[in-house]
Amino acid sequence: MAPKKKGEIIVIMGVSGAGKTTVGQMLGKEMKYKYLDADDFHSESNKEKMGKGIPLTDEDRMPWLESLRDATKEHIVNGNGVILGCSALKKQYRETLRSSDPDYKMGSYETSAVSFVLLEAPAEVLSVRLNKRAAEGTHYMPASLLQSQLDLLKIDESEGILTVDATLSPQSIVKTIIISIFQFQDSFHSSQC
């Protein structure tokens, strides 16, 4: 009997307003992967805090990140693919998410079942998007918290995070991600031969 294939988690990351949900849902449909929105895993107290314009602390975020880790671990172990829309602003947060892969060794980014795609856009574009959402009443995150998220966002080049221009159309972003994923997989498998 062949060993069970390990699942894969693709985290669509970035600050609020970058398009994580829109792109994540489209990518999930395209790849036939389940989509999970990290916002659905926040406690009511975290949502209330953000709704009042109060940035979350690391202490606020850790139980949330651990619940995301546990939810995605189940999919990896069962051989399923998942797209997770999550801010994942700091390396420490991404390490918690990577630890959902039972085989992950810290720093072994290329072999992890968890990969990251950063949706990046200028602050002005993000602010317009957040103000629009606020006017529509479709999200609890106010535009006033955008700067605190931008300040927290730290990317270490060694992590190999794919960065995509979030001002492109969602369709173009999804196409870019899919092409990049397959190019990376091909180059990784070639290097293993």
Q: Which two tokens stand for residue 108?
A: 């072994």
**pLDDT computed for residue 192 by the predictor:** 43
Question: What is the C-alpha separation between 109 and 160, in angstroms, rounded?
Answer: 7
Q: How many C-beta atoms surround the C-beta of residue 100 within 10 A?
A: 25
The strand pair at 34-37 and 114-120 is best described as unpaired
Q: Which two tokens stand for residue 26?
A: 């489209």
Question: What is the C-alpha separation between 29 and 76, in angstroms, rounded?
Answer: 18
Question: What is the C-alpha separation between 81 and 66, in angstroms, rounded?
Answer: 19
DSSP code per residue over 114-180: EEEEEEE--HHHHHHHHHHHHHHT--S--GGGHHHHHHH----GGG--EEEETTS-HHHHHHHHHHH
Q: Which two tokens stand for residue 113?
A: 């079942």
**pLDDT computed for residue 27 by the predictor:** 97
* CATH superfamily of the domain spanning 9-190: P-loop containing nucleotide triphosphate hydrolases (3.40.50.300)
Question: What is the C-alpha separation between 71 and 51, in angstroms, rounded?
Answer: 25
Q: pLDDT tens for the chain, 193 residues: list them.
A: 444 457 899 999 999 889 999 999 999 999 999 999 998 999 999 988 887 888 889 999 999 999 999 999 999 999 999 999 999 999 999 999 999 999 999 878 888 899 999 999 999 999 888 888 777 766 666 666 778 888 889 998 889 899 999 999 999 999 999 998 777 555 543 444 4
Domains in the chain: boundaries: 9-190
